[in-house]
Every structure is written in C-alpha cells, then in structure tokens.
Amino acid sequence: MKQPRLLDANEISCRVQSVTKNNGAIILLYKDARVDMNILDETFGAMNWQRQHISIDGNLHCIIKVWDDDKKQWVAKQDVGTESFTEATKGEASDSFKRAGFNWGIGRELYTSPFIFVQLKDDEWEEDRGKKKTTFRFGLSVKEIDYNDNREINRLVLIDKQGAVRYTMGQKTPEPVADKGPVKEAAKVSVKQTDAEMKRRGDEIKQLFEEFGYTSDDYKAVATELKAANPRAMTTPEFSEHMKKVRQYLIDMKKASA
C-alpha cells in the first residue's frame, strides 16, 4: 500500500497558541481537512477511500477506509475529534477527519515541528479583558520546509504578511554546482555559538518554562533528568531536538500532577 507524501509548504498553516508575558507568540503548525482530501485522492485514488463518522460515548469519531488491492479488502483507521469554538458539530467532524488522516500518515511530520517562538511588534498584539492576543496585523505562513530521511522537519522558514522572515530553522541544502577542479577545503564551523545565538537559546528556554508555569531556574533539574549537555554547546538541530524532549517532559509532569 502506498505511503502518503510529505506536506508541501503551501499545505501547512500557522496559528498562535499563546502570547507570552514579554509579547512573544508561540506558533503551532497545522493542516486543514482539504489537505487530507487532496492527498487521499492523490495517493489512493478518489474512488478508493471512504469517510464515515460515528458517535461513541457522545464523542464524534471519523473512520477513513482505504482499499488495499493486495489484500482485496478495505483497511480502516479512525480517531476522535474535538469541537471548535465556532461550529461545534462541523468542527468536531473536521477535527476527527484530520486526526484519522494522521493515522494514515498524512501530515504526521508536523509532530516533529520545533518549538516556534516569534517576537511580536508593538502593533501585532493587544490586551483583551486582561489577556494578551495578536491583532489582525500579525499573520505567518510557511515559505520553506524540508525533511530528513526519517520524515522529520529539518528546515523551516516562516514569513509574515509583508514577506519578512520571522522564524528560521536549519540551513538550506546548497544547490549542486559543476565540478571546477580541486578547491580549498572549507574551514569547519565551530560548534560554539555567538553571543546573540546563546541569548536566543536562553530566551527560548525561559519562554518554554513560563508557558508551563515554571521558572527558567527549574531548567537545570529537567536537563539533568534528561541527561542533556549544555544547550549552548549544541548544534542547531541538536538544540531543536532537545527542546522537543523538554516540552514533552513538561507535558508529562503536568499530567502526572493533575
């Protein structure tokens, strides 16, 4: 059975999860239901998949069935959805469909997204009844995205409505060039980061811990528990992977204390 392809940049959307105390936005990547429909059509054929919704204990589940020509039978995968703030039933149906799509591998690479923090400009945030939120002036889209052989995100560029780059992860793979004979070997890049990069990493750790109600002083204990080296000595991909592990650790701690 075929495997759905990885998402293109124009198939991925950005939304603000929260606005932090120092007026920064934490960004999440997501797909919409039309992406799942298009990739199901493209991968398996429009007449070779089915969608069904059922209610289990008051929760709406979606079942996506795909025809397996080798087994000569339908293969089904399902998941449950959550209501949206606007249209409860429609939102729950769409969410369950997208979640079932994840089970088929559509957009699963979004789970490997790095922690995305974007500093907001003065006109991009406001307070509403004591809570900070972004204004209509702020909006992001994915300009570039690349993946490694494990279908994990290793390059990501986000731009705002004016086309300005607001977030970058990883380095762009250089285009192959014609052989021009022997060249001088390039100097190896030191792992040691610049002062600006070290400050950015410290700010990113601080924002992550504030999001979960901790102070950055708690980071040392978490890093020790995860047996992590000094983040300032990590390469950019190593630091991104480390932050994903820290986020999951904090989520598990919250669940355990609930």
Per-residue pLDDT of 72-122, as tens digits, reads: 999 999 999 887 655 667 789 999 999 999 999 999 999 999 999 999 999
Residue 202 has pLDDT above 90, yes or no: no
Strand partners, 147: 153
Tell me the one-letter amino acid at 255. Answer: K
Tell which of 119, 137, 171 closes a domain.
Answer: 171
Do 19 and 123 belong to one domain?
A: yes
Q: What are phi and psi for residue 159, nearest 5 degrees? A: -125, 160
Residue with tokens 């030191």: 190
Is residue 167 one of the residues assigned to a domain? yes
| The pLDDT of residue 154 is above 60 | yes
Question: Cβ distance 247 to 115 under 8 Å?
Answer: yes
Q: How many CB atoms sit inside 10 A of residue 208's CB?
A: 21
CA-CA distance, 32 to 13, in Å (whole number)? 8
Structure tokens at 93: 């149906």
Q: What is the pLDDT of residue 7?
A: 97
Share of the chain above pLDDT 90, in %: 59
pTM of the model: 0.65
CA 74/CA 67 separation, integer angstroms: 4
3-state helix, strand, coil in the chain (%, to 5): 35, 30, 35
Residue 229 lies in a domain: yes
In a domain, 15, yes or no: yes
**Alpha-carbon span 28 to 20, nearest angstrom:** 14
Q: Which residues span the domain enclosing 25?
A: 7-31+107-171
Do 223 and 250 touch, CB atoms closer than 8 A?
no
Confirm whether 184 is domain-assigned. no
> What local confidence, expressed as pLDDT, does residue 210 receive?
82
Angle at 142 between CA 107 and CA 191, to 5 degrees: 95
d(CA 111, CA 244) in angstroms, rounded, equals 10
- Across 225-244, average pLDDT: 82
- Residue with structure tokens 């731009």? 159
Residues 119 and 84 in one domain: no
DSSP, res 234: S
pLDDT at 190: 44
Q: Which residue has the tokens 């390039």?
A: 186
Same domain assignment for residues 249 and 218:
yes
